[in-house]
Structure 1
């Protein structure tokens, strides 16, 4: 070991002891007291005895203290073993996961961790266990999620075109309104709730398969729902059928919930009862249809999923009247939680933030 390293001169023994008293890190306090002895003229051997370490460790403390001050003496987590994948390899992994497998090339229709471990070995010559691949994926922001059905005839460019042109659409509508009228963005959709409820995922012990009630009867009702995420409000009706008359009632209900002096731009899909000329559109509403086959643009799809997963699934509806009652209860429960409507419904591209 070389000659003793001189301590920095902007501290003294008294200052280090004061810091040791207020420190919440026991290891830091012990090291500060040991170095304070050196400031007060004690030998390095005495400092090592106080700290319960060797002279080499005291030398390491001095180097850390000189470089970083008292913060350099705080216990730090061990760095652990170096990761096998570098940043470029991680980004390559992220790209292939996002693109998905090509069945004719990769032999699978969805990625499993063991498939990705094989791909990593073939691509980079690096062996990883399936659990290690899972940790890498989680670190990259991936989670195992249920895929949403996508219509085979969907025009993928229509989604981005609608988002990019949305501000211009709002400006056009604003130009037709009197000065000072504010625009509210509303989303509308319908959901069929019946006795054939879905079964949702639930927590259970590994290796078991939990059960849930499943009815095969066919009575059902429709929830006509609309939300204004910016205000956290909604307007809904539970009706026996989905047709033009039901849609007219729904428009009237939405109209009654629009803020006084405001105008609602109601975004909805192109179902026949949405686009028919038989509808009498209220004066404070303008309909804005979504591109064909693009339900993922409508946050009402996420609202229905939330309501089904939490309030309407895994249960038996004894009668049509019970369906009506529980649908009304679920919708009213949603509208009593404006923060939930905001969390689910706000979209950057639609609300300009």
Structure 2
């Protein structure tokens, strides 16, 4: 026991007390709030097992969050970025792909007059040596704020002068 009181001897940072932590918890997201309230319960003398049960955590998880709070304070209770798989298409390649698609399709070079998702997928494979699924290609286009819906393209055999004459005939009537 600690100091003659019926309270377990836990050593905490000399930062905010339980009441202050409860006020701080109101400003935090759900998961961080849960952790802050658990620490506040520990500061008030609650056992780890009881505080964990109240927070809906396991006892070992309560000890882990307690240790992180001791080391880093409130910041230690926030989720840290987790290492994940590196994106297959890096920022430089994404920018180059966006430039290429925004420049538009050329019939002679691309074989189409407007790009679709499969065309962007083909460009990734042929020009950037990146082989990815069609769904990943659409996800990349979405991330680049590009729409795969394009305005109606002009037909390669369309005659602009004949079309202009046609519209003049319609305007005269």
Structure 1 residues 104 and 82, CA gap change in structure 2 (3 angstroms)? same
Q: Who is 2:17 aligned against?
A: 12
Please list the CA deviations of residues 236-281 of structure 1 after superposition, one character each: whole Å capped at 9, or x if unmatched: xxxxxxxxxxxxxxxxxxxxxxxxxxxxxxxxxxxxxxxxxxxxxx
Q: Which runs of 5+ in 1 are unaligned?
A: 150-195, 197-215, 221-353
Q: Who is 1:135 aligned against?
A: 139
Question: Which of the numbers 74, 80, 88 marks the counterpart of 1:69?
Answer: 74
After TM superposition, the score normalised by the length of structure 1 is 0.34
- SS of the counterpart of 1:83? coil
Tell me by how many angstroms 1:99 deviates: 2.8
Contact 2:35-2:65 within 8 A present in 1 as well: yes
Please list the CA deviations of residues 205-250 of structure 1 after superposition, one character each: whole Å capped at 9, or x if unmatched: xxxxxxxxxxx97567xxxxxxxxxxxxxxxxxxxxxxxxxxxxxx
- Distance across 2 between alignment mates of 1:110 and 1:24: 47
- Distance across 2 between alignment mates of 1:118 and 1:31: 48
- Distance across 2 between alignment mates of 1:109 and 1:65: 62
After TM superposition, the score normalised by the length of structure 2 is 0.60
Matched residues, number = 148
- SS of the counterpart of 1:109? coil
- Distance across 1 between alignment mates of 2:142 and 2:97: 12
Matches within 5 A, 1:1-353: 7-20=12-25, 22-23=26-27, 25-62=29-66, 63=68, 67=72, 69=74, 72-73=77-78, 83-143=87-147, 144-146=149-151
Contact 1:65-1:72 within 8 A present in 2 as well: no
- SS of the counterpart of 1:97? helix
Structure 1 residues 87 and 24, CA gap change in structure 2 (3 angstroms)? closer
Larger relative helix fraction: 2
Contact 2:35-2:77 within 8 A present in 1 as well: no
Tell me by how many angstroms 1:32 deviates: 2.2
Q: Give the structure, 1 or 2, with the largest relative contact order (CA under 8 Å, sep 6 or more).
A: 1
